[in-house]
Structure 1
Amino acid sequence: MNKKKISDSHLVGWLLPVIALLLWAVWGVCSSGNTGFLPTIPEVWSGFLRILKDGTLVENIKISTYRGMKGLLFGGLIGLGLGVLNGISQKADRLLNNTIQMIRNVPYLAMMPLILVWFGIGEETKTILIAIGTFFPIYLNTYSGIRMIDGKLIEMARNYGIKNKDLYLHVIFPGALPSILVGLKQSIGRMWVILIVAEEIASKSGIGYMITNAREFMLMDIIVVGLLLYAILGSVSDGVIIWLEKRLCRWEYLAERRS
């Protein structure tokens, strides 16, 4: 019964995309060749095949993925480290957390002019922008995940002789892991959004550049291909995190299935 419910919930999740595709197909049929506003599905497919055959698509996907993952790695590791530090240490929390929260309230894209002045328009700027945007979700979720661990659980572990490194590895970190993975999922979503803006900064490669270049020449089919690519890459990223949740947080997944 539970398996059927899970299967039905997955099918319902595809309902709106299928409806959108059907409406798009109807638009193509009813437009009578006047598709300047929105290209038809065959036109988008043709544009997709064109940039796939000439190698542009694969190269831009590789470059964008590398840029995104590089920024996510820097921002994520710093966010994880500070989240753990402030979560377990009262002194570090008092010293650092208020400052981090103040910086969090500054829109990260508003920092772009300052970052451009400091670092120029090279790859460093793109990496820093993505790192800033992806830092805060992982930091906040790591921090709150550690703070929300039941104190009785930690006390029980200590009573059983679990201390120091083992306490962090076997009690605190696993207890905070579901929250950390939520932060990672949010950070990956932000990563793809920031990447579009970052690749418009004097870039000559990447999906964002491909969309910007297509806009200059009014290549609507390529613009739609680029947008669909971001949607697909974002969905794949979410799928990877869900897979990790099922493997690393089995107790939560099993509880969800039982309910």
Structure 2
Amino acid sequence: MRCTILASGSKGNCTYIQGGDSAILVDAGLSAKETLYRLAHTGCAADMIDAIIVTHEHVDHIRGLDVLARKLECPVYATGGTLADFLCHRRTSDKPLSTHSCRYDTPFVAGGFTVSPFATSHDAAEPCGFIIEENGEMLGYCTDTGIITSHMLDLLRRCDGIVLESNHCPEMLANGPYPESLKRRIRSSRGHLSNPAAAAVLRMLGKDAPQVVLSHLSEINNTPDRARASAREGLGLFFKEKCLIVATQKGSTPDIPQEIRL
């Protein structure tokens, strides 16, 4: 299984996951045009994409969803709450769009993958992360959550690779330009994981920590170096340079691939 980050951050999120003969996208937070461009320039096969699975309805995760799903002629999978908000309040087109509702902890099949949604803690209608499995390989996708529960940790512990949020440095957030109300939202249990919180997850995983992609970094309240240093501290003796990637808004490029292969 190949997991390629096309974009990760507050301006847009999109991840390409390819298996043996099928591929899916997690989120579509770039424009359709930009997504197709990045797919082509990172060697990702758009014609293999059989579905788009969506974590939640915030614009940095669904900006290109409507147009992209129709261009790729593939269905959209999301929780009922996410779909209701998207279809009723955020979608402007009335052209046909294939959508399917999924439920927490109930696996479904998307293309060649078995996908199991799990609840995350974020200020959205019904947000989720995903465990994505193909041929015995498992990828955990866990972003946009203010906390990591024991259930989430148990799921991630089974995975061969994880995409894990490491959104902000608490010091940079506290001293940064955001209004206090927004700072409280980011720090809350329904906000975003900080660098220390992500490091704590990796510390709890310990020797079970798989290949890791740190994702959804704030361009204002974090830096790749800070996120990496914090994760390295969390992993301690289990740190392996080649097994830790820090994703950025630029995503994968031919020169700097941001991807893991399970």
TM range (shorter): under 0.3
Larger RCO (alpha carbons 8 Å, 6+ apart):
1
TM-score of the superposed pair, with normalisation by structure 2:
0.21
Quick check: which one's strand share is greater?
Answer: 2
Please, what TM-score do these two structures have when normalized by structure 1? 0.21
Q: Which has the larger radius of gyration?
A: 1
